[in-house]
Structures are given as C-alpha cells and as structure tokens.
Amino acid sequence: MSKIKFTLNGKVVFYEGDPLRRLVDVLREGFQLTGTKEGCGEGECGACSVLKNGKLVTSCIIPVGAIDGDDIVTIEGLRETPQGQCLVESFAEGGAVQCGFCIPGMVMAAQALLLVNPHPTEEDVRVAISGNICRCTGYDLIVESILLASRKGEGLW
C-alpha cells in the first residue's frame, strides 16, 4: 500500500493503494471521473488522454505511483473552464462528434496544443491529435473544430 498525493482538476487529492494501478482506473473507479475513456489499453488510441503537468499523456499506461506530486487535468476539469467551454461549443458547432468515444481525448489534445500554440495551423492540429484515433469522422471535422476554437477563443489561451 502506498499513499500518493496529487492535484486532480485543481484540488489536492490522495490515493491509497496499489501504486501500479493504472491512472485511468483510479480516475474512473476511484474518483468517478468517467469522462476519461479506455480504448486500447496500450497507450495507442488516445481515448484516455489527460494532461499531466500540462502535457498530454495516456492514462492507461501510467501507474498512479508515477504521478505523486503531479498536476492532472481530466476532461471534467477542463469542461468547467472558459477554454473547455469554448472547445465543447466548437466541437458541437463544427459537427466533430459522431459516436463520441474519442472526443474527450481529442478535446484534451486540443487543449494541450492551444496552451502552447493558440494560433495553430491545420498541420499543427493534425500533429497534435496524431496520437488520438477516431474511427468515425475521418478527422477533418475534428481538425476544423479545433481551428474554430482557436479563432472563437481568441485571448483564452
């Protein structure tokens, strides 16, 4: 048993248990943050993406023991912010969502990009979501929606 302290969506939280438990399981089952999805379980599809200290990472391959002292933001935490609202509205307006399973990861990838590059090109966006797989949309509407968010959210990032 290990006690791990980290910041989750702006609040300091503690986890006590197996340090090798996957972060995605701790988020979904321990903190009921089910917006983070598990797709492949191998870090390849990006559905479980969260921000760790501002960097996009796949929570299905990170043991919770490796995030001691870190800052984790999930889709639930992002949704409550003006940036998150802008992304959600832009994804809806741009028709980016079909089945929706990949969307939390896509939104997190968009946020990670816009935090460092508020005015991305289409290529920048495609690189930023290159680790996120969508089986429905063909990506174009997602890319356009992220570009839309960067325009609508001028000054937010």
Question: Which residues bind to other proteins, rule: CB under 8 A?
Answer: 1-2, 18-20, 22, 42-44, 46, 49, 52, 55-58, 61-63, 65-66, 68, 109, 127-128, 130-132
Using CA atoms, how far apart are residues 134 and 45, in angstroms rounded to an integer?
A: 8
Provide the minimum distance between the beta carbon of 132 and other proteins in the complex, in angstroms, as a whole number.
Answer: 8
- Tokens 């390849």 map to which residue? 44
Q: What are the φ and ψ backbone dihedral angles of 66, each rounded to 5 degrees? A: -90, 0
> Measured from the CB atom, is 94 or 105 closer to other proteins?
105
Provide the minimum distance between the beta carbon of 111 and other proteins in the complex, in angstroms, as a whole number.
Answer: 13
Provide the minimum distance between the beta carbon of 52 and other proteins in the complex, in angstroms, as a whole number.
Answer: 7
> Measured from the CB atom, is 8 or 57 closer to other proteins?
57
Using CA atoms, how far apart are residues 34 and 157, in angstroms rounded to an integer?
A: 26
> Measured from the CB atom, is 89 or 126 closer to other proteins?
126
> Measured from the CB atom, is 13 or 66 closer to other proteins?
66
Those residues with Cβ within 8 angstroms of residue 69's Cβ, 6 or more apart along the chain or in another chain? 5, 6
Using CA atoms, how far apart are residues 133 and 73, in angstroms rounded to an integer?
A: 20
Provide the minimum distance between the beta carbon of 143 and other proteins in the complex, in angstroms, as a whole number.
Answer: 15
Nearest to 83 by CA among 9, 10, 153: 153
Tokens of 63: 């043991």
Provide the minimum distance between the beta carbon of 134 and other proteins in the complex, in angstroms, as a whole number.
Answer: 14
> Measured from the CB atom, is 1 or 12 closer to other proteins?
1
Using CA atoms, how far apart are residues 101 and 82, in angstroms rounded to an integer?
A: 22
